[in-house]
Structure 1
Amino acid sequence: MDEVQVVVAHSERATLRVGDVFLKVDADPARLDAEVEAMAAAPLPTAPILWRKPSVMALGALPGKALGRLGEPSPASPAAWAAAGAAARTLHDAPLPARPGRSADSRVRAELESECELLVACGVLPADVVARNRAVAEAAFRAFTPAFTHGDLQITHVFTDDDRVTGVLDWSEAGHGDPMFDLATLTLGHEDRLADVLAGYGTAAEPDAIHAWWSLRSLLNVRWLAEHGFDPFAPGCEVDVLQSRM
């Protein structure tokens, strides 16, 4: 009998795997509605929807393997990473969805200021690491042309086979937003792969904004990850990303 594997689980949503079937459970049915809509609109291969209930969706497995995992060396080839970059560009060139996605605005700036204060006050990170990354993160607060973004383009969500993208998972955060956020999420903790991704993406990339999003995303996520059972201090993960800016 196939065992039940917990892929991810926290108070908002959980994903379970049983054999080649993934069950996605979301506390907000409207978020699943938005994910289904984004999957239908995306110009990239997505996992097949086997069935759908108000708060649960069953998805079939994608062919190929994920690009890798955060904190571990990626087994994927440079060509596979370039293909992921090209896929991101295809998505970003698609017609905009109605739903808003990730971007750095005044609300995010206020959240960042508060989070930086807490990281230092609670002794989670040294003040100099926080200050340096806060300075780097400032480049994310810039004018940009909104694009159709995935919103959570982690390497575990991008599957490739024979150096081509066979599918992209988890469209729950998709919407119109900053395309450099997607590229930063894809390469977080794998800075050595950025050149490969940009080779596939093309000249529209903004490296300074990608670097800024590495710092911004990591600063905002460290405490949340620790409070929800993840380890941002693991080798190659968010704290290492922040320390690498020093």
Structure 2
Amino acid sequence: MDEVQVVVAHSERATLRVGEVFLKVDADRSRMDAEVEAMALAPVPTPRVLWHRPPALALAALPGRALGRLGEPCTSSPAAWAAAGAALRRLHDAPLPPRPGRAGRSTEELTAELDHECAWLVAQNVLPAALVTRNREVAEAALRPWTPAFTHGDLQIAHVFVDGDEVTGILDWSEAGQGDALYDLATLALGHEEHLADLLAGYGKEVDLDVLHAWWSLRSLLGIRWLLEHGFDPHMPGGEVDVLKALM
């Protein structure tokens, strides 16, 4: 008999795996509807939808394995990283989806959220003030005008599956929509800078590295409180805090 494996679980959503089926439960119906819509529109491999009955969504498992995981050494080949870059370029070049995504928040909204989180990190003694201040300065480069693209919005390295050097699918599209393409690139390469050149070679388009680094700072600063409050560890080796230290 297949066992039930808890892939991820917190107060917003949970994902379980039973054999070759993933079952996602999300308290926000609109987020799940957006995920199904984005997978239907995306010009890259995505999991097959078995059924969709809010608040649950059943997806077929993807072949292969995750490209890597944040905080762990990555053994995927340079060619696999290049293939991920090429898949991401196809997504970003596709016709825009109908709604904005997480990567499409306005500069004003991001600035207000960033300042609020930086103040909290210092007030709660989560991080040294100098570390927060320096990375807030780095993050400023991401707060600029951008051309909307079809973005995934949460393209963590564990959401890209590969078999050998081929991308077999991309998971977790609940944050997808119109947004800044560099947000996706930065999220995928977060904590794995040693593979950035291979990723960008596959992407095949010139990228402003200052903006990409800025997204590393911004995403890490915004994510630390959420991670702590949901039982995750941003201080793990190679995680968000290490990313911030590397950008000092």
| Counterpart residue number, 2:115 | 113
TM-score of the superposed pair, with normalisation by structure 1:
0.98
Partner SS for 1:34: helix
CA distance in 1, matches of 2:60, 2:171: 11
Partner SS for 2:14: strand
| Counterpart residue number, 2:197 | 195
Higher alpha-carbon deviation: 208-217 or 98-107:
98-107
| Counterpart residue number, 2:207 | 205
Runs (4 or more) in structure 1 with deviation over 4 Å come to: none
Counterpart selection for 2:141 from 139, 142, 158: 139
Q: Does 1:58 align with 2:58?
A: yes
Partner SS for 1:59: strand
CA distance in 1, matches of 2:231, 2:205: 38
**Number of matched residues?**
246
Q: Does 1:8 align with 2:5?
A: no
Q: Residue type matched to 1:49 in 2? A: V
| Aligned-pair CA distance for 1:41 | 0.3
Across the aligned residues of Structure 1 and Structure 2, the Cα RMSD in angstroms comes to 0.9
Counterpart selection for 2:221 from 215, 219, 243: 219
Which structure 1 residue ranges, 5 or more long, are not aligned?
none
| Counterpart residue number, 1:241 | 243
TM-score of the superposed pair, with normalisation by structure 2:
0.97
Higher alpha-carbon deviation: 231-240 or 198-207:
198-207
| Aligned-pair CA distance for 1:205 | 2.0
| Counterpart residue number, 2:174 | 172
CA distance in 2, matches of 1:99, 1:53: 22
| Counterpart residue number, 2:71 | 71
CA distance in 2, matches of 1:227, 1:28: 19
Identity, in percent, stands at: 71
| Aligned-pair CA distance for 1:157 | 0.6
Kindly provide the CA deviation profile for residues 138-182 of structure 1, in whole angstroms up to 9, marking residues without a partner as x: 000111111000001111110111211111001000000000000
Partner SS for 1:11: coil
CA distance in 2, matches of 1:129, 1:148: 33
| Aligned-pair CA distance for 1:245 | 1.1
CA distance in 2, matches of 1:163, 1:26: 32
CA distance in 1, matches of 2:143, 2:167: 31
| Counterpart residue number, 1:25 | 25
CA distance in 2, matches of 1:231, 1:76: 24
Q: Does 1:96 align with 2:96?
A: yes
| Aligned-pair CA distance for 1:84 | 0.4
Which structure 2 residue ranges, 5 or more long, are not aligned?
none
Higher alpha-carbon deviation: 177-186 or 197-206:
197-206
CA distance in 1, matches of 2:140, 2:21: 41
CA distance in 2, matches of 1:136, 1:98: 31
